[in-house]
Structure 1
Amino acid sequence: MILSEPLLRMEGISKRYGGAIALKEANIAVRPGAIHAVLGENGAGKSTLIKIMAGVVAPDEGRMLLDGNEVSFASPAAANGAGIVCVFQELSLIPDLSVADNIVISNPPLRFGMIDRKRQRQIAEEALARAGAADIHPSSLVKDLPLSRRQMVEIAKALARKPRLMILDEATSALTQSDVEKVFGVLKQLRAEGMALIYISHRMHEIAQLADDCTVFRNGRSIESYPAGSKSDQQVVELMIGREYTNVFPPKPMQPRAATPVLSCRDLSWGDRLSGINFDVRPGEIIGFGGLDGQGQRELLLALFGVLRDLKGEVAIDGKPVALKSPGEAKSGEISMALIPEDRKTEGLMLPMTVRENLSIAALDRVSRNGVIDRAAELREIDELLKLLAIKAATIDMPVASLSGGNQQKVVIAKWLMNRPRIILLNDPTRGIDVGTKQEIYALLRKLADAGAAIIFYSTDYDELIGCCDRVLVMYDGSIIRVLEGNEINERELISAALNIDASQAQQRIAQ
């Protein structure tokens, strides 16, 4: 097999931010008609690499060649003009504009000096269909779409620019499984048409399904490039983290937990999204919620945290019924609950503010005296959490937006741990973060449970449910349809319950 010449080659690329080295002598070559996976932990240099490709930042050293000719891009518009388009993990859509407006925003079709609305809609429909999202109406406002559909619009927006090289940074991390399958089909078709694609994901099974070539980054350096499938997952992970990768999940306790539940739900219902929810969680337990995405898991967490109105049924804390009317009541001293949200960028952090401000915001009453922040107490609390979660930040007075994705997620978790919660709700907390940071979060969850916290954990990753949880409650159409314990917590049983079929049928689906 004769491999094609690279469409894009980067040689000896280095980039510094003050005293921090983001990239050092990095190299990569991307072929047309191939999907090139870029792998590495958060903070390994991947984001800086693609920002240089996309014209967002300029390298300090090294060179970039497109079709064998040296190029440099002063802006994203210049990179787009050369055929390089990036779908970043942080969405670039404008919420108050329509889907069609967002898709053509950089180059709207004009007629007599005015935007040609008919042509704009046609372009949007074509781009959405090409992205596998023809069901999204071009006139819909972006703010009215769920996160997974917004991500599909972002991909359609990139395709509308007719790229030669498309970069996808964790583009499936917010998608439902149905949309992931559609995107995979789209990417394979684009590859067959000769497009070059760079694909960044922490989901190893996605890399196995899609990639032709792989490059591993660690500490700002390109460690190794190799043909996809030539290394085992364990070998790849060890290249990424620079050490042997074992004991991904901490051991589960052998002894049964205390009998008295800290939180109980009885016949909890909300509109047509939740119906007859019944479960208990005890101190020291990690309870997982599984099932296909969109079966009411997120709504249940929001209900428990006092976000939803007009709930029916009963929630009890320590056996006493409570009315959770607001997040403020949920996190109050008597209940002491915390919610780690799904989208750290929009729901968990204030990106322009500092690490210190983000850590303190949920626990100001703990570090304040008579309405004035006790700086010494605040710094003691922050220092303790920085060590507990191994948060890597040059200074706590730097903007939290400048941290890697994994460290941002740690800040979200640390912010709520500052309140010393007894009940911790987690909504897909490891989405879009690297394997090393995931391992640290798994260990932290078990440590918090061992210290007596009750943890309710929704994840779209079956491996996490299997490895982390003492019990898994599988939801289907807004109801809990099965409770798995012990050896029942396995992929076959999870899939069968998620699809509401028997296990023998699920085994056939796995085999397919």
Structure 2
Amino acid sequence: MLSLQGISKGFPGVQALTDMQLEVRQGEIHALIGENGAGKSTLTRVVAGVHQPDTGSIDFDGALVSWSGPGDAKRHGIHVIYQEFVLFPHLSVAENIFIGHERRNRLGLIDHRRTRSDARNLLDKFGIDVDPTTLVRDLSVADQQMVEIAKALVHDVKLLILDEPTAVISGPEVTVLFERLRALRNAGVAILYISHRLEEIFDLCDRVTVLKDGKYVATRMIASVERDELISLMVGRSLSELFPKRNTQSADSPVVLEVRNLSIPGRVHNASITLRRGEITGLAGMVGAGRSELAFAIFGAMRSSGGQIFVDGREIHDMTPRRAIAEGIGLVTEDRKGQGLAMNLNIAANMTASTLSQFTRFGLIDFAREFKVAKQEIESYRIACRGPSTSVSLMSGGNQQKVIVARWARTSTKVLILDEPTRGVDVGAKIEIYRIMQELADQGIAILMISSELPEIIGMSERVIVMREGVITGELTRDEITEETVIELATRRYAS
């Protein structure tokens, strides 16, 4: 269906693609992977007609093509679903599906009844259970994604490109999405699937192509490739090198934070945990287990209905984020864009946000000092950017995450809570974040890491606390931590 040969694309000061090749067959789901900066986004934009290649050829559906723009590519059957949906929230599902292709009557007026009927037929055809009359703003993120797919299906779609489609959904929603994509594959649609999540690629895709530094590396059949080989192809190092060497902490290391019988109505029930100096403790469980809520309550960002919090043996009454920061506790939230970063500000402002008082005098910010500190942190955390004045909105997910970690590492002298610290970042960025975590632990900081990735839990944790439906079901020591023991506790029934 699609064949690229010798594709190169450069921008001022940057060679994004060099002699790139890619082949996607009809009726297959083909994964495209690589670290941030590998060239995935540029390549898909070339395929979709957003960028014109400097050299090389594009063969689509048996003919050499040269797109005049995205509209030209779309008319020939190429449709892209980006991470940020292109939907009109105040219009209905049906209106969004047929935007630009409105159903009209003989007078040229929009035929709303036909629009709704055609939308219902299209949604039913692919098992998408969404009411065509519902406003898009009232849909869940997962259903909005289904509307994006339905928009593509209005056309004679031959190639569907999805860019990190599961970044905004999880659990059952991912299962439904995969069912829809398999149905499209079986109908003969070629699908190019871009993701950082290797477990999804092994579960869903037929073949995988690896990019690195804007160049083609290899294409493999999923059935005959191992996870370790893919990681090695992407980053040039093996799976055994993914996690840093851990320094074992003894069981008698000082307890820096203790939580006793903490409860949040409907969320967390009588949770008790201890965090020790210099130890990385994993907090595992299924989606909805109450892990994030527990973290927010410890940090004072969510009110508890009962329980006690002790820092260095002192009980802290009425914990608030301000008090938590003063006590040396930091929280890196799961939603880095919505809750972690000020997307319109630069790196320097984001790094100093939690310690702004240290950079102000008489109500004025000392920008020179702020930039000096930010420059040091950029070097220390190996953040890829042009400097402290770079807007975080222009950075990759992995580098954005390192900015947040750098910010909280400045204030977290005792405890750092990391909620899904590597979600949505590539393998190379994961390795860097793991290194940073271990270095912070080596400095004596107690780290509580919430993660849904079992290899991450196993590879980084000295102890693992497991939750299910708001209840802590067990705790595992290092020698007891396996995928089987974690899953058993995460699915264990408890006495009510």
Taking structure 1 as the reference length, the TM-score comes to 0.85
- Match of residue 461, structure 2, among 469, 472, 486: 469
- My pick for the range that moved more, 351-360 or 430-439, is 351-360
Tell whether 2:19 aligns with 1:35. no
Shift in CA distance, 52/207, structure 1 to aligned 2, threshold 3 Å: same
Classify the secondary structure of the residue corresponding to 1:246: helix
- The 2-side partners of 1:295 and 1:201 are apart by 25
The 5 A counterparts of 1:68-467 are: 68-73=62-67, 75-93=69-87, 102-105=96-99, 107=101, 109=103, 134=129, 139=134, 142=137, 145=140, 151=145, 154-159=148-153, 163-309=157-303, 311-323=305-317, 326-331=320-325, 334-467=326-459
Identity of aligned residues (%): 38
- The 1-side partners of 2:304 and 2:104 are apart by 48
Checking the alignment, whether the CA contact within 8 Å between 1:58 and 1:73 is kept in structure 2 is yes
- My pick for the range that moved more, 119-128 or 487-496, is 119-128
Checking the alignment, whether the CA contact within 8 Å between 2:88 and 2:136 is kept in structure 1 is no
Checking the alignment, whether the CA contact within 8 Å between 1:90 and 1:345 is kept in structure 2 is no
Checking the alignment, whether the CA contact within 8 Å between 1:303 and 1:311 is kept in structure 2 is no
- My pick for the range that moved more, 476-485 or 131-140, is 131-140
Classify the secondary structure of the residue corresponding to 2:209: strand
Shift of 1:285: 2.0
User: Could you list the per-position Cα deviations for residues 82-135 of structure 1 after superposition, in whole angstroms to 9, with x for gaps in the alignment?
Assistant: 322222234445566665555555545456766655555556656666676637
User: Could you list the per-position Cα deviations for residues 425-471 of structure 1 after superposition, in whole angstroms to 9, with x for gaps in the alignment?
Assistant: 22212112111211221121111112111212111111111111122
- The 2-side partners of 1:351 and 1:307 are apart by 21
Checking the alignment, whether the CA contact within 8 Å between 1:266 and 1:277 is kept in structure 2 is yes
Classify the secondary structure of the residue corresponding to 2:255: coil
The 5 A counterparts of 1:488-503 are: 488-500=480-492
Aligned twin of 1:483: 475
**One-letter amino acid matched to 2:417:** L
Shift of 1:170: 1.9
Taking structure 2 as the reference length, the TM-score comes to 0.88
Shift of 1:476: 1.1
User: Could you list the per-position Cα deviations for residues 300-346 of structure 1 after superposition, in whole angstroms to 9, with x for gaps in the alignment?
Assistant: 22223333246433333333333556534433xx2233222223333
- My pick for the range that moved more, 219-228 or 66-75, is 66-75
- My pick for the range that moved more, 34-43 or 265-274, is 265-274
- The 1-side partners of 2:48 and 2:419 are apart by 31
- The 2-side partners of 1:495 and 1:133 are apart by 31
Shift in CA distance, 244/291, structure 1 to aligned 2, threshold 3 Å: closer
Checking the alignment, whether the CA contact within 8 Å between 2:92 and 2:132 is kept in structure 1 is no
User: Could you list the per-position Cα deviations for residues 173-195 of structure 1 after superposition, in whole angstroms to 9, with x for gaps in the alignment?
Assistant: 44323222322222222111100
Aligned twin of 1:46: 40
Shift of 1:282: 2.0
**One-letter amino acid matched to 2:273:** F
Classify the secondary structure of the residue corresponding to 2:401: helix
Checking the alignment, whether the CA contact within 8 Å between 2:19 and 2:215 is kept in structure 1 is yes
Checking the alignment, whether the CA contact within 8 Å between 1:124 and 1:138 is kept in structure 2 is no
- The 2-side partners of 1:422 and 1:94 are apart by 46
Shift in CA distance, 255/272, structure 1 to aligned 2, threshold 3 Å: closer
Classify the secondary structure of the residue corresponding to 2:289: coil
- The 2-side partners of 1:423 and 1:135 are apart by 44
| Structure 1 unaligned regions, length at least 5 | 1-6, 503-512
Shift in CA distance, 38/115, structure 1 to aligned 2, threshold 3 Å: same
Shift of 1:245: 4.9
Shift in CA distance, 413/142, structure 1 to aligned 2, threshold 3 Å: farther
- My pick for the range that moved more, 159-168 or 102-111, is 102-111
- My pick for the range that moved more, 463-472 or 265-274, is 265-274
Checking the alignment, whether the CA contact within 8 Å between 2:263 and 2:304 is kept in structure 1 is no
- The 2-side partners of 1:141 and 1:307 are apart by 30
Checking the alignment, whether the CA contact within 8 Å between 1:354 and 1:399 is kept in structure 2 is yes
Aligned twin of 1:506: none
Checking the alignment, whether the CA contact within 8 Å between 1:123 and 1:160 is kept in structure 2 is no
Checking the alignment, whether the CA contact within 8 Å between 1:305 and 1:324 is kept in structure 2 is no
Shift of 1:482: 1.6
Checking the alignment, whether the CA contact within 8 Å between 1:291 and 1:474 is kept in structure 2 is yes
- The 1-side partners of 2:162 and 2:419 are apart by 23
**One-letter amino acid matched to 1:222:** Y
- The 2-side partners of 1:407 and 1:448 are apart by 18
**One-letter amino acid matched to 1:321:** E
- The 2-side partners of 1:338 and 1:36 are apart by 40
Shift of 1:286: 1.6
Classify the secondary structure of the residue corresponding to 1:198: strand
- The 2-side partners of 1:296 and 1:109 are apart by 46
| Structure 2 unaligned regions, length at least 5 | none
Checking the alignment, whether the CA contact within 8 Å between 2:289 and 2:468 is kept in structure 1 is yes
Shift of 1:62: 3.2
**One-letter amino acid matched to 2:173:** D
Shift in CA distance, 279/325, structure 1 to aligned 2, threshold 3 Å: closer
- The 2-side partners of 1:291 and 1:138 are apart by 37
Shift of 1:196: 0.3
What is the number of equivalent residue pairs in this alignment? 493
- The 2-side partners of 1:421 and 1:130 are apart by 56
Shift of 1:33: 0.6
